[in-house]
Homo-oligomer: A and B are copies of this chain.
């Protein structure tokens, strides 16, 4: 063969990407259609796939090919492809195989113990295995950081370039304004919620209509039910799941719109990047910016909820609220609650800041695993104004830490911040947006996002793609202004 090192590397990477898609598809299968009795066998299958992928990511030829072509003249896209491959190769190569295997083993056990502890509201039963997970992730961070900040080394896997210092500064700006606003809002009476009959099958049918309204391509995707809503896959096979709750159709509808935001990002990436290292959303933060802007700035806007209101009355009859304005208030209702995943736009980021500060302290060693529950409860009361009654509503509510996902939580808020910046820029470019949304038409907005963000896939670094889309570097200001304006208006402040 007389291929260039670049051609060899990209051909090799194409198969790695294809195998990564296969592993992702197994995950989808597991959460949607897999028979229950297949769980153990599936774990073996997944482990075998992970071994194949790990061997490819650390294949010494990748290092040789990279060394042979880095620095040469090449296209912008090829340069970006190499950047991703280099990052993945360096991360994977720095990690001792025994450590990775031990983390996989311990987090698998920890996830089971977490589920049991949560069911029994017994944090003490979870603390020892959590301590072990933290210890292993500290070791991983040491191997990766080579003297740098441990937390940054972990966060970099989810949000390349993110640092605890920068995230901390961002949260310091957000926290007082959000705490103040939530205090004022919760003094006001809560608006009424929906009442009516919302059968499962009709919720799913309505969710499909919403997905189509946001441009989700069902010829390259599908919608199934699962316990937890998620989006899975890249390119031309991007599937989403949702769930139904007969009492609360918003749970289904807004989960669907959220996952459609993730899925459309993947579906709208330039087809030329298919099965390359650019063929996926560039980071968790940018991914979340798409799901959040679909769900919140578009889906929960006064204009679009007016359209949903009419559609829901047609589909479900009497829904217990009798005006578009009352419906808009119900969609955006702020309530005292404990659970991050059910939080409204105003309170959501307070949940993240709490986790960010606690997990930084856990990784640095300033906070012991055994002391997590007390620290959580104290901080929660300070930010939310009321006490956590039990661990399942507090520090045991999320699966993330049992899986070792330290450094992941802040990407949710980063996504909100990016969505705030993008929404501000988009509204400047699209003065007639609300008139379209009021008719259920999202295409001007989704085309704008497709053009400015989604099509680029991994071409630009996270912050760069947002900066290019908005014409200025991202900051928390636009999101905070948007939240303050929206909720002051809704609650008559």
Interface residues of A (CB under 8 A from B): 14-15, 18-19, 21-22, 25-26, 29, 33-38, 40-42, 44-45, 47-49, 51-52, 217-222, 235-237, 239, 274-275
B-chain residues with CB within 8 Å of residue A40 when the two chains form the complex: 236
Expressed in whole angstroms, the minimum distance between the Cβ of A215 and any Cβ of chain B is 14
B-chain residues with CB within 8 Å of residue A239 when the two chains form the complex: 35
Apart from A14-B48, A35-B219, A37-B217, what are 11 other A-B pairs with CB-CB below 8 Å? A21-B45, A25-B26, A34-B237, A35-B221, A35-B222, A35-B236, A35-B237, A40-B236, A41-B235, A41-B237, A41-B275
| Distance, CA A48 to CA B49, complexed state (A) | 12
Between-chain CB contacts (< 8 Å), 27 pairs = A14-B44, A15-B51, A18-B45, A18-B49, A19-B45, A19-B49, A19-B52, A21-B41, A22-B26, A22-B49, A25-B29, A25-B45, A33-B222, A35-B218, A35-B219, A35-B221, A35-B236, A36-B219, A37-B219, A37-B220, A37-B237, A38-B220, A38-B236, A41-B237, A41-B275, A42-B237, A44-B275
Shortest Cβ distance from A22 into B: residue: B45
Shortest Cβ distance from A279 into B: residue: B41
Describe A's contact surface by its main secondary structure.
helix
Asked if A15 contacts B275 (CB within 8 A), the reply is no
Q: Identify which of B35, B51, B52, B274 contacts A220 (C-beta below 8 A).
A: B35
Asked if A33 contacts B33 (CB within 8 A), the reply is yes
Shortest Cβ distance from A55 into B: residue: B52
For this chain, the copies found in one complex come to: 2
| Distance, CA A65 to CA B352, complexed state (A) | 53
B-chain residues with CB within 8 Å of residue A44 when the two chains form the complex: 14, 18, 275
Shortest Cβ distance from A224 into B: residue: B33
Asked if B47 contacts A237 (CB within 8 A), the reply is no
B-chain residues with CB within 8 Å of residue A275 when the two chains form the complex: 41, 44
Expressed in whole angstroms, the minimum distance between the Cβ of A11 and any Cβ of chain B is 11
B-chain residues with CB within 8 Å of residue A29 when the two chains form the complex: 25, 29
| Distance, CA A21 to CA B47, complexed state (A) | 12
B-chain residues with CB within 8 Å of residue A45 when the two chains form the complex: 18-19, 21-22, 25
Expressed in whole angstroms, the minimum distance between the Cβ of A157 and any Cβ of chain B is 24
B-chain residues with CB within 8 Å of residue A237 when the two chains form the complex: 34-35, 37-38, 41-42
B-chain residues with CB within 8 Å of residue A38 when the two chains form the complex: 220, 236-237
Expressed in whole angstroms, the minimum distance between the Cβ of A376 and any Cβ of chain B is 38
Shortest Cβ distance from A274 into B: residue: B41
Shortest Cβ distance from A15 into B: residue: B48
6 closest A-B pairs by beta carbon, nearest first, are A38-B237, A18-B48, A37-B220, A37-B219, A15-B48, A18-B45
Shortest Cβ distance from A38 into B: residue: B237
Asked if B41 contacts A236 (CB within 8 A), the reply is yes
Q: Which of A18, A25, A42, A220 has the most CB of B within 10 A?
A: A18
| Distance, CA A311 to CA B38, complexed state (A) | 31
| Distance, CA A38 to CA B37, complexed state (A) | 28
B-chain residues with CB within 8 Å of residue A218 when the two chains form the complex: 35
B-chain residues with CB within 8 Å of residue A33 when the two chains form the complex: 33, 222
